Each structure stands twice: as C-alpha cells, then as structure tokens.
Amino acid sequence: MAVRLGSTGEEAVRGLALAALGYATVTGADAAVKWALPELGAAAAMIWRGVVSALVIALVVRGRGLHVHRWGLVAARSLLNAAITAVWFLAWMLGVGLADSYAVAAVAPLAMTLLAIPLLGEKVGWRRFLSTGVGFLGVLVMLQPGGDLWRWETAMLLAATCGMAIARIWTRMLSATETSQAIAFWHMLAQLPVGLALMAVPALAPPGGAGFAGIIPGGQALLAILIFGVSTALAHLMLVRAFGLAPVSAIAPFEYSPLLWGLVLGWLLWGEVPAWTTLAGASVVIAAGLYNLHRERVRRAAERAAA
C-alpha cells in the first residue's frame, strides 16, 4: 500500500481512526465466517468471499485503478493469500478459537523482520535480532506441551503466518507499481478459483453433500456469509485509506488489536477463554514486535538525518 508522506495532523488522526475501525471490522467479519463455517464449509466460504468482496471493491472504486502491471507477482500474492485463508478456515472448523488464532498470527511481524533480509535486502541490527529472538521465546510459551495450542493445527497456522509475512513483503514490493485497490481486488477475486478447486477436498467441502450441494446455505448462515464478504471488502478499503493518511509506523500497533476483539467476540459467541499461557506468550510476541517497530523508526530517522 502506498504511503503518503507529509500528511497533516488532522489527516493522520483520521487515518488512525480508520485503521482502528478497519481492524475491528476484520475481526467481526472473521467471527461471522467462523459462525457459518460448520454449515457452509471452508471452500464455499472462500467462493462467497471472492464473489462478494471483489464485487463490493469494484463497485466502491467504480472499476478505477484495477489495472495490473506486474501480473506474475500479483497472482502469486493473491494465490498465497487464498491458501492462507483456506488454512485459517480449516483451523476454525477444527475448533481453534478466534483469539487463539490471532495469538499465533501475532508472529507475522517478527517473521517479516527476518524474511525482509533475503527478500528485500534490509539490514537488521543486533537489537532487532535480539528482540525477535525474545518474541519467538514467547511462541514457545504459547506452544508449551499440554497447553491449549499444543495441537497440530497450530503448526499449520504458524506455517500460514509465515506465508502472511511473505505476502506483506510482496505487497510492499508491489506498492511501487500497483494501486492499493488493484492489490485488494485481485486478492479477493483469487479466493473464487481456489475455493472452487478445494470443493473436491472432503475436509473443506460443504457438509451438505458431494459436489456443489450445500454451497448456498440457508437463513442465518447465508446472512452471516454475506456480512462476512461485505465487511471484508470494506475493511480492506478502510485500511487502504488509513495507510494513505497516516504513517505506517503509527498504524502498525493497531495490527495487534484483533487479538483484543477476538477475546471479546470469542467469549461472547462461543464461550472461548484462551489459556493464560497463550495470553502471556502473545504478550511477549507483541512486545517484541512493537520494539522492532520502534527500532525501525529510529533507524529511518537516522537515515533521514544523515541524508
């Protein structure tokens, strides 16, 4: 996402408000699809997400800015995100709590710090290396034997989280040539073919029957999936606008807010209460991520001063 430099204080405040609302909307959308997944299945949920979200984005931007210059990287990023979505949906179907999954996702900024070295050629000082190591110790706290996250689904989520870090790095690379709305639109549209392909996987197909039976849920599940698709599209557009109004470094801490929303929604809707080890480990991971953000801001300020 392109970042506009030199924004006014009023614009930055609006950007932060949009970021907070965007991340809250993402969490609400995730809760809606998690609620509908037992009736719909992961593959059908991806199909609905692709159709509804892409349509909403195209309507909101009126088709402007959807042209792509680097088709290969856009396609790779979109398909990777679709695979990550499938993993997350499967984990929720297998009983992983909303807040537990967000605790695992908090590892993404740490993984991004390390992956940016080979992929972007960034230099990481010893302080960021040390804090990243401390953050991964927090992961070990979350994954201690006998804990709530000591399950094979967590390994699957960790692999998907590393994929999230790669996708974010690719987003940074694409921001030089592609518009934010194009990146978001093709991200959403890629969910459709991947969802169709996954209809053949029994664990991901609709539970209503073989083939395409059950792809259209009834009643409340249909309403939930429509809310999910529209909310996902609007959240992405809000976050795109937020990154255009406020500095990335100011918005980044809001990335951890879904964990708080997930705690509330998970408890209200499903009675989920994460183990104290999960919360303690996630706190260490988040603290390490925020420290890395601080060091990045210090480094960039020093570079600007030297220039």
Query: pLDDT: is 205 or 55 the higher one?
Result: 55
Number of domains within the chain: 1
Question: Which range among 37-41, 79-83, 163-167, 296-300 shows the weakest confidence by mean pLDDT?
Answer: 296-300
Asked if residue 255 lies in contact with residue 75, where contact means CB atoms within 8 angstroms, the answer is: no
Count of alpha carbons within 13 angstroms of residue 85, beta-carbon side: 31
79 near 235, Cβ under 8 Å? no
Least confident segment among 78-87, 121-130, 171-180, 207-216: 207-216
Q: Which residue has the higher pLDDT, 303 or 237?
A: 237
Q: Would you state the structure tokens that stand for residue 232, as one six-digit string?
A: 């996902």
At residue 119, does pLDDT exceed 50? yes
Give the pLDDT band (50/70/90) at residue 161.
very high
Residue 224 lies in a domain: yes
Does the residue 1 lie in any domain? no
Domain-located, residue 4 = no
Q: Residue 231: inside a domain, yes or no? A: yes
pLDDT in tens, 214-258: 687 777 888 999 999 999 999 988 887 787 777 666 777 888 899
2: in domain: no
Q: What is the pLDDT of residue 173?
A: 86
Q: Which residues contact 146 (CB under 8 A, 6 or more apart)?
A: none
Query: What is the domain extent for residue 14?
Result: 9-306
Q: For 281-305, what is the mean pLDDT?
A: 82
Mean pLDDT over residues 173-186, rounded? 88
Question: Has residue 40 been placed in a domain?
Answer: yes
pLDDT score recorded for residue 295 = 79
- Residue at 294: amino acid letter: H
Give the predicted TM-score (pTM) of the model: 0.87
Q: Which of 27-31, 77-81, 218-222 has the lowest mean pLDDT?
A: 218-222
